[in-house]
Amino acid sequence: MGIWLATLISILLICLISLAGIIALLWHENLVRKILLLLVSFAVGAMFGDAFIHIIPEIFSNVTVANMENNNLLASALLLGGILLFFIIEKFLRWQHCHHLPNDDCHRHNVHPVAIISLVGDGVHNFLDGVLIAASYLVSFPIGMATTLAVLLHEIPQEIGDFATLVHAGFSVKKAALFNFMFACMAFVGGISVLLIGPEIGVIKTILLPLTAGGFIYIAGSDLIPMLHERNTLWTSVLQIIFIIFGISIMLAMSLFE
């Protein structure tokens, strides 16, 4: 019962972090809207950093020496599969949004498919956060607390970037906050699943970690970076580069807590 309570409280804290974006807007809406593309730049850095600094090293740290070649191949295949999966999902969403509309109407559609793609990726990511927190508490309470702190610090910049992405893609402020919170609550699904089927945690991480990394690489590289080319002044470009590096740096700093 103690493990369940600690896990659920920790996950609730993680979910509440998803409201960081709306709090920032309430603090100074005009300022946040002016720096929206900078927040998207931050999200690019955070997603790339999360994939290459946290998730991918975690994938290959689980590879066993006894069957290293086959496990490396499987992990790499699933990573590429994640990129392909999110490409297919976006193709389907664009087709669903646009196949009944003239091309001009399609381009003017209110909500860009990147919003849905981002939510899917964020949902899987938060599911894994719940998985990692619950698994850590199953090992020991101190490790569970340490993992919660690492995930909490990691989620603050990630959720602000996710919120900015949704607003930029066409969601209203209220809708972006609601959907961001709803998909953040996928952490409860992950955590409760692990507490119920703890012995199968290795299988879950083996499959979902590479798919998540591939999804983040696809979102950041295929959808978010093209948004940053919409305003191509020298000063704006320099600021975008700085914020991408800042996002990566935050993810690098978070690795010190792992």
User: Cβ distance 127 to 186 under 8 Å?
Assistant: yes
Q: And the tokens for 45?
A: 């850095």
Does the pTM of the predicted model rise above 0.85? no
Q: Name the pLDDT band for 219 (thresholds 50, 70, 90).
A: confident
CA atoms within a 13 Å half-sphere pointing along the CA-CB vector of 205: 25
Q: Name the pLDDT band for 187 (thresholds 50, 70, 90).
A: very high
Provide the sign of the torsion angle of the four alpha carbons 192, 196, 202, 207, taken in this order.
Answer: negative
End-to-end Cα distance, the chain: 26
Domain segments of the chain: what residues?
2-257
Query: Would you state the torsion angle of the CA atoms of residues 107, 110, 112, 113, taken in this order, to the nearest 10 degrees?
Result: -100
Q: Regarding predicted confidence, which is higher, 117 or 198?
A: 117
Q: Regarding predicted confidence, which is higher, 251 or 205?
A: 251
Residue length of the chain: 258
* pLDDT tens digits for range 152-185: 766 766 677 777 778 777 788 788 888 888 888 9
What span, in angstroms and rounded, lies between the C-alpha atoms of 143 and 3?
A: 12
What span, in angstroms and rounded, lies between the C-alpha atoms of 33 and 216?
A: 24
* pLDDT tens digits for range 34-93: 677 787 888 888 888 888 987 788 778 765 544 566 678 888 898 999 899 888 877 776
Q: Regarding predicted confidence, which is higher, 110 or 47?
A: 47
Q: At what angle do helices 113-139 and 201-218 cross, to 10 degrees?
A: 150
- Give the pLDDT confidence score for residue 227 in this predicted structure: 79
- For the chain, percent helix, then strand, then coil, each to nearest 5? 90, 0, 10
User: Cβ distance 135 to 199 under 8 Å?
Assistant: no
Q: Name the pLDDT band for 24 (thresholds 50, 70, 90).
A: low
CA atoms within a 13 Å half-sphere pointing along the CA-CB vector of 94: 10
